[in-house]
Structure 1
Amino acid sequence: MTAKRPAITVTATDHAMLSRIAAGAAHTMPELAAELTHELDRARILPEGRVSADHAHIGSEIVYRDESTKRETTLTLVWPQDADIEKNRVSVMTPIGVALLGMAAGRSIDWTTRSGDVKRLTVLEVREPAEERAAS
């Protein structure tokens, strides 16, 4: 039995773009597209122009812990075309990207890796990207 999924929050802009991406990926990546669509369907959507710095969104820097290994990882959640694993820029169209989308610090979620393993991760911190932090 999987644990109840935590509440997630996404911006209206991200929700619209991700809905289009999920629809476009339905034939090439059906499982991932279905998972993303499920997450979008249950998300609380912020009004246009509003962003919650407390919730992981496209561009957020996220620190999370893999509960099975206790390993902490920091990554930036990005659009598929901006992904660069060497710079820890992870596409929202990956299993971990879908799992992290909309999550707040202190929340945990079970997610299925590409190899089919189910892992539990806990978001430790959600930060604005370094560029935005420097500008504020």
Structure 2
Amino acid sequence: MFFSNQPARLLTELDHIRISKLLQRPGASPQTQAAVDDLIHSAELISSYQVPANVVTMYSQVLMADGHTGEQRKLTLCYPHDADPAAGFVSVLSPVGAGLLGLKMGDTARWPTPDGGTATAKIVEILFQPEESGDYLL
């Protein structure tokens, strides 16, 4: 499995519905689509109004520390149409984005690399979460 040895995931019901519909469209690699499908169907679903502030939801901005170098970087988890990796906007259908979805601050995200390895990064801080700011529909 794509995300084996990952902590349990929390997913808002709205994110679950939107990502499920997104997976019905062509776009991501079959491996990533299958992995994201597994992830959203194994995650614990929660209302957007009840999601803890320390959980990565769609459009959350996180500060991550690379598991190998310790270098920190800000990333925003987004839908494919808003993705701009150079600006730090990563698609939920990318390995990095799928690796972040539903994790909590302090968890370590893992995702496959193109060379067949695994990259890791610790979620140091959640800088912005839409639900925490009162935006339950973003």
Instruction: Give the TM-score range, shorter chain.
Output: 0.7 to 0.9
Aligned-residue CA RMSD (Å): 2.5
Q: Hey, what does 1:45 align to over in structure 2?
A: 45
CA separation of 1:128 and 1:68: change in aligned 2, threshold 3 A: same
Identity %: 27
Given that 1:23 and 1:33 are in contact with CA atoms closer than 8 Å, whether structure 2 keeps it comes out as: no
Pairing 1:20-99 to 2, within 5 Å after superposition: 20-25=21-26, 29-47=29-47, 49-99=49-99
TM-score by length of 2: 0.82
Aligned-partner residue type, residue 57 of structure 1: T
Cα shift at 1:119? 1.4
Cα shift at 1:50? 3.8
Long gaps (5+) in structure 1: none
Aligned-partner residue type, residue 56 of structure 1: V
Cα shift at 1:43? 0.9
Cα shift at 1:129? 5.5
Aligned-partner residue type, residue 15 of structure 1: H
TM-score by length of 1: 0.83
Given that 1:75 and 1:89 are in contact with CA atoms closer than 8 Å, whether structure 2 keeps it comes out as: yes
Q: Does 1:18 align with 2:19?
A: yes
Q: Hey, what does 1:8 align to over in structure 2?
A: 9
DSSP-derived class of the 2:22 partner = helix
Q: Hey, what does 2:110 align to over in structure 1?
A: 110
Aligned residues: 131
Kindly indicate which of the two structures has a greater share of residues assigned to helix: 1
